[in-house]
Chain A
Amino acid sequence: MLTVLGFNIGPMLAQGVLGLINGAFYAMLSLGLAVIFGLLNIINFAHGALYMIGAFVAWGLLTYLGIGYWPALIIVPIVVGGFGMLLERVFISKLYKLDHLYGLLLTFGLALIMEGLMRNYFGSSGMPFAVPESLRGATRLGFMIMPTYRVWVVVASFVICIATWLTIEKTPIGATLRAATENPALVQAFGVNVPRLVTLTYGAGVALAAFAGVMAAPVYSVNPGMGSNVIIIVFAVVVIGGMGSILGSILTGFTLGLVEGFTKYLYPEGSGVVIFVLMVIVLLLRPAGLFGKAA
C-alpha cells in the first residue's frame, strides 16, 4: 500500500471519499439554510427536521403509494417545500419585526414538534429504504469499493448546488432576491411583491432540505433523529462559510466533509469535534465567516 509521511494513502483516501459523501449532504443543507438566512434573517432550526420529513415522505410514497425513488426526487421537494411555505405564512412571517432570536426559538419549537410526532409513530430507529434498482452495485476504485449510489449522491448534490448558485447569482430572479435582501423597501417600491418572494424563498430552501432527505434515505435510513443529528453540524458549516453566502456554504460543506473524513482516519476520536473547533477559530478571526460579508 502506498504510504506518504507514514500515512497509508489508500485508507485515508477511502475515508476522504466517504467524507465527501457526508460533505454533499452538509453542502445541500447549508445551502438551504444560507438562502433562508440571507433573505429572511431567520436561523431556521427546523431545517434538519424538514430534511427528515423529506426522507419520511419519500419512504411513505414508496410504502403506501408505490411511488419510487426517481419520481420522489421531484414530488417530495415540491410537497415539503409547499409545507414550508405554509409554515412561513402562518408562523414565521409574524416574527420579522422582532428580535432574530424569536425566529430561532420558533423554528426550534417547530423542529421539536415534527421530530416528536415522527418518533411517536415510527420509533427512533427508523425504517429502511432500499437503494433504487438502477443505482445498485459498486465499482472497484483500487483503494476501496464504492457503491454506485454514493457516487450518485456526490454528483447530484454538486449539480444541485451549482444550479442554485447560478440561479441566485446569474439570473434576473436571483438578482431580485439579492436586492430584496439588501433593501426590501426599495425593491417593494419597484413593484416586486417582497413578502411573496420571501415565502417562496423559504419554500425553496426547505425544498432543498427535502431533496437532501430523499437522497439520504438509502444511505442513513429513515429515522426521526436524522435531522437533529446533522443540524448542529450544518449550522457550523453555515457559520464558517459565511451566514448569507451561497458559495461559501457549498464550498465549506464539501470541504468540511473531506476534513471530517480525513480526521476519522488520522484521529478518530476527534472526528466529531473538528468542525466545531474550526468554527470557533473562524469566528474569532473572521466573524463574518470565510466568504461572508462583514457583520
Chain B
Amino acid sequence: MTEPRLDSQELREFETQVAEAFNHGRIRAPVHLYDGNEDQILKVFQNVNEDDWIFCSWRSHYQCLLKGVPRDLVFAEILAGNSISLTFPKYRVYSSAIVGGVLPIATGVALGLKKQGKSEHVWCFVGDMTSETGIAHESIKYAETFDLPITFVVEDNNHSVVTNTRETWGLRTLTYELANESSKVIYYSYSSRYPHAGAGQRINF
C-alpha cells in the first residue's frame, strides 16, 4: 500500500489549473475533468500498490497523479493534447477514449498475472454508462468466475455526456450499484461542477 501523493485539495487544484489552461485556449484537444470525487478516489488508492496496473477511460488525471506520475509530466501531456488517452507505462497507467475499451484489456492483464503467479493487482476505472455495456458485463463476469486479480471501480456521475444512464436503460439502480464487498466491483457516486468535456466555457480558438 502506498501513501497518497496528493490530498483532495491538491487534486482539485490540479483540475482547476487544467480548466484554466483549457479556458484560455492553451489546450487544443478535449479534456475531461474530475471534480467532487476526491475523497472516494483517494480511498480507492489506499489499496493500490506501486506495482499495480491502472486502466482508465478518457477521464484519468486523478489516477495518473495518485499512481505517482509527476504532476508536471501529467500537465505537459495534457497541454500536448493527450488528456483523453493518457498513458504512462513506467507507472503502469493506461487509458482509452473508447467506451468500454479498456475493460477486456485490463481483464487480460489480470489473467496473465494470475497465470504467472504474480501478486500485482489490476484496477479498472469505468463510468456509469460504461458499466452497463455488454463488454463490461462480460469482463466482470469473466473476472469474477475465474477470480482474477482485478477490481473494477464504477464512478457514477449519472451521465454519459448529457444522457441520463438510469433513464435510458430504464433502471432504478445500476447493475453494480449495490455491489458488495466480496465482489470485484467498487461503486461510488459523485457530482461534478464540470461538464462532460471542457471546463464550462465556450472557447474561440
- Asked whether A and B interact, the reply is no
